[in-house]
């Protein structure tokens, strides 16, 4: 394994170096952003460090349990930081900050919805998921239901979420590096795809975990430093920050109130349902509960993650408000030097301009490198979730009926991780110039309407049956995808129609109810002998969920 690992790590390094070397010949594609040597140097340090960790992790990955869940040997604090790293995306750092910059309180509503999901995970899911599952969320959903059908459904639901979210991340990576580093889009996408395949194929969950931990630390340190420097411009007074932000923004005091994005209360409810319950159905988040030794550490990890994520979103709010004053009043950050015009680099750049304004090129380079590291950590987690769904759920449990040999399972997992990487790169290049906002809605819509209902009802409702779960899951999948297609994000912005058939970008207010209703209807009308046995097994499941008796034990290292 070591020679093969060397053969893939060396090309990964050469790919990153070649990307940097070729940038000088391709700057004409991104004339507005000069080559950022500082950012590239810091990014290469991150890549070298994480590839070294991958080499170390490959030597520790002796079994498939090590590969899938790090042998349950991650501590609660480490897993909490990794969870935060898996969740705090570049979209939050750049997108939510820019939303606050342009729309004020509307951007904070997104932060609140993303954050509220974590207390839900802490109190309702963390302990039960750890006690009932071992590798994927399919372990929980199929605990007392039919293995083949339920694992197939949840595996495809997870793969749907993973693929859509990967496209978002890959396109974001290409555009971000094109803007911040001055590098070609396609090269950035290929570099991310190659690196994530190396992390997952050889380092497994151990490498993925440490990539996420390092990224979370860098993001929290960089964000805190930027917030402190920005607040120093206001005498460290939040009152002064808010007062000057209101005075500087063209909407004045209206930025402190909900306005443009959530004018319809139902749209706000649908958005919040999608973000909150979609988070509770993201496979790459839920599978992190299996990396700790017991339910107590699972609870601790969610508690730690909640604290870090809450702190991060407070920082994002400060950065957005500070950018209104510092960036919004400086014509140097606008094309042609016209205040209120188009920002240099695009609408997602306020936080980067803020970094340059308060910390110069050095801080801008650091934040740029952190943003790219953020994408690498998230795509690694997504690839790990997709690989587990293919190799464990579909190959081992469905195709091989649980009787696959470890070497075959490992071979399939490697093929799956490389295959997912290739698919992500191809789709990232194909979607280069497309409006991909709808993919975010689709990702969270499917997670909230397929994964979350089945997972929640399997743990909390005795009446759930296999037939009900299948009917409800398919109904949730069809309704969420259909409503996103009919929404303004696709029907108007992508397909060019004048008016959307479904008025909301996020479909959860309808699709979640559709999923729950048909799951209930399919279950209560199921009088089969199989359904009777499934209901009887609920008591055994409840005991294990509450006590952990019979749950998988951590592998000693």
Question: What CATH number is attached to the domain comprising 229?
Answer: 1.20.1730.10
556 found inside a domain: no
66 found inside a domain: yes
557 found inside a domain: no
51 found inside a domain: yes
Name the residue among 144, 68, 158 with its Cα closest to residue 396.
68
Give residue 525's domain range: 2-547
553 found inside a domain: no
In DSSP notation, 133-196 reads -SSSTHHHHTSSS-HHHHHHHHHHHHHHHHHHHHHHHHHHHHHHHHHHT---HHHHHHHHHHHH
**pLDDT score for 436:** 67
**pLDDT score for 115:** 87
CA distance 217 to 50: 13
273 found inside a domain: yes
CA distance 206 to 60: 8
End-to-end CA distance of the chain: 20
**Count: domains in the chain:** 1
Neighbour-count burial for 71-93, b at 16+ CB within 10 Å, e otherwise: bbbbebbbbbbbbbbbbbbbbbb
**pLDDT score for 123:** 85
98 found inside a domain: yes
**pLDDT score for 435:** 62
Q: With a threshold of 0.75, does the pTM exceed it?
A: yes
CA distance 13 to 110: 37
**Cα-atom radius of gyration of the chain, to the nearest Å?**
23
Whether the CB-CB separation of 1 and 150 falls below 8 Å is answered with no
**pLDDT score for 376:** 83
What are the residue ranges in the chain where pLDDT is below 50? Answer: 1-32, 553-557
555 found inside a domain: no
């Amino acid at each position: 394994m070591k020679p093969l690992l060397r053969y893939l790590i060396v090309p990964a390094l050469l790919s990153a170096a070649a990307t940097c070397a070729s940038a000088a010949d391709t700057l004409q594609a991104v004339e507005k952003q000069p080559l950022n040597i500082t950012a590239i140097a810091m990014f290469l340090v991150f890549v070298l460090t994480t590839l070294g960790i991958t080499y170390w992790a490959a030597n520790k990955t002796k079994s498939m349990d090590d590969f899938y869940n790090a042998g349950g040997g991650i501590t609660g604090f480490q897993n909490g930081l990794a969870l935060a790293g898996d969740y705090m995306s570049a979209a939050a750092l750049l997108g939510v900050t820019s939303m606050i910059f342009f729309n004020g309180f509307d951007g904070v509503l997104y932060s609140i919805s993303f954050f509220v999901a974590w207390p839900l995970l802490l109190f309702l899911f963390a302990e039960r998921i750890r006690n009932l599952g071992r590798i994927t969320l399919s372990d929980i959903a199929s605990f007392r239901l039919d293995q083949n059908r339920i694992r197939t459904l949840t595996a495809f639901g997870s793969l749907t979420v993973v693929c859509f979210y990967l496209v978002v991340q890959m396109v974001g990576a290409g555009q971000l590096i094109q803007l911040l580093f001055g590098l070609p889009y396609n090269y950035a996408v290929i570099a991310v795809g190659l690196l994530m395949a190396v992390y997952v194929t050889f380092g497994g969950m151990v490498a993925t975990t440490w990539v996420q931990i390092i990224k979370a630390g860098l993001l929290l340190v960089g964000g805190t430093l930027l917030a402190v420097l920005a607040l120093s411009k206001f005498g460290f007074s939040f009152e002064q920050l808010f007062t000057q932000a209101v005075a500087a923004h063209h909407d004045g005091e209206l930025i402190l109130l909900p306005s443009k994005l959530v004018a319809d209360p139902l749209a706000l409810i649908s958005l919040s349902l999608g973000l909150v319950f979609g988070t509770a159905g993201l496979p790459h988040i839920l599978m992190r509960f299996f990396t700790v030794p017991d339910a107590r550490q699972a609870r601790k990890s969610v508690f730690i993650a909640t604290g870090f994520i809450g702190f991060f979103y407070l920082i994002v709010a400060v950065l957005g408000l500070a950018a209104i004053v510092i960036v919004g009043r400086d014509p140097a950050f606008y094309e042609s030097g016209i205040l209120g015009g188009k920002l240099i680099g695009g609408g997602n750049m306020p936080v980067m301009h803020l970094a340059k304004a308060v910390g110069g090129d050095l801080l801008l380079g650091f934040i740029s490198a952190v943003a790219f590291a953020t994408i690498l950590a998230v795509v690694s987690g997504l690839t790990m979730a997709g690989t587990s769904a293919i190799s464990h759920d579909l190959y081992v449990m469905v195709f091989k009926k649980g009787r696959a040999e470890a070497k075959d399972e490992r071979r399939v997992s490697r093929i799956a991780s490389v295959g997912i990487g290739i698919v992500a790169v191809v789709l990232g290049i194909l979607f280069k110039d497309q409006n991909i906002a709808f993919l975010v809605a689709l990702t969270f819509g499917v997670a909230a309407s397929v994964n979350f209902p089945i997972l929640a009802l399997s743990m909390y409702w005795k009446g759930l049956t296999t037939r009900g779960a299948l009917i409800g899951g398919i109904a949730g999948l069809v309704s969420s995808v259909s409503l996103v297609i009919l929404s303004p994000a696709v029907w108007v912005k992508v397909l060019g129609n004048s008016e959307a058939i479904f008025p909301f970008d996020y479909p959860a207010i309808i699709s979640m109810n559709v999923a729950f209703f048909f799951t209930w209807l399919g279950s209560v009308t199921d009088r089969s002998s199989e359904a009777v046995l499934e209901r009887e097994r609920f008591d055994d499941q409840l005991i294990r969920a509450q006590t952990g008796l019979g749950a998988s034990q951590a592998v000693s290292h």
